Amino acid sequence: MAPISKSEQAYRLMRERIESGRYVPGYRLVLAPIATELDMSVVPVREAIRRLEAEGLVTFETNVGAQVALIKETEYQHTMETLALVEGSATALASPAITSDQIARARAINERMRESLSHFDPQRFTELNLEFHSVLFETCPNPHILDLVHRGWNRMRVLRNSSFSFVPGRAQESVNEHDRILQLIVDHAPTIEIEIAARDHRLGTLNAVLAQNAQHAKRLADTQAEAHPQASAA
């Protein structure tokens, strides 16, 4: 196997940190520290940053330099808010026709999700999460709403591989909320209750990610203020 180039090493490191939330939107990518960490010159790091910029993950501004793209956070929030609405509606509309076999399939998937918590893989958990919700919304009788749900999930794949890589603690809550949604369907609860439960479930993940990012940004700002007290005071 051919050795990985230095530029590729730098690219993988930064992309992984962007996707995991270690580098939050607005985080400055300073060449020298990254190059030092990887024991290489700044040239391959600069090449990697240009590649990330081409992918829309990084922006470059005069007098600011390279930073993790802010638009991604806004796009993520808007996509999740929209998905919460349309998926909640699709799940509610599908609920009266959901069969006992579908409920059994959804429960089995949710149990696999629960079992996976002990050896947590965010990407796999997200795949199972889509599989679970698909059982509930795929029989939605409104094709236009269903199309919007599919568009939302596809958009999420572009924006972020897994929300749970940012907030792994949210996974346990998510599994428990799945149980509640299933129980509402089994009990033939009013469709509005099912819709709200499904919508709040999606928004719960969004709110957890936003809160985590806000905390991370505050810690970063506090660290920078401690390191440069004069600049902070100015």
- Segments of 36-159 assigned E as strands: 58-61, 65-68
Contact 29, 42 (CB under 8 A): no
**Segment-wise mean pLDDT, segments of 10 residues, the chain, 234 residues:** 87 87 80 95 95 85 79 81 98 97 98 94 90 97 97 78 78 97 98 98 93 77 71 53
The Cα–Cα gap between 52 and 43 comes to: 14
**Alpha carbon distance 126, 118 (integer Å):** 15
The pLDDT value recorded for residue 228 is 66
* Residue 143, pLDDT score: 97
Helix %, strand %, coil % for the chain, to 5?
75, 5, 20
Question: Quick one: pLDDT at residue 31?
Answer: 93
Query: What are the C-alpha distances in Å from 46 to residues 40, 43, 108?
Result: 11, 5, 47
Q: Tokens in use for 188?
A: 């033939």
- Strand boundaries in 2-93, DSSP class E: 58-61, 65-68
Task: Return the structure tokens found at 162.
Answer: 């897994």
- On whether the CB atoms of residues 67 and 58 are closer than 8 A, the answer is yes
pLDDT of residue 83: 97
Per the DSSP assignment, residues forming a β-bridge with 61 are 65
What is the maximum alpha-carbon separation in the chain?
Answer: 66
As a whole number of angstroms, the distance between CA 12 and CA 230 comes to: 35
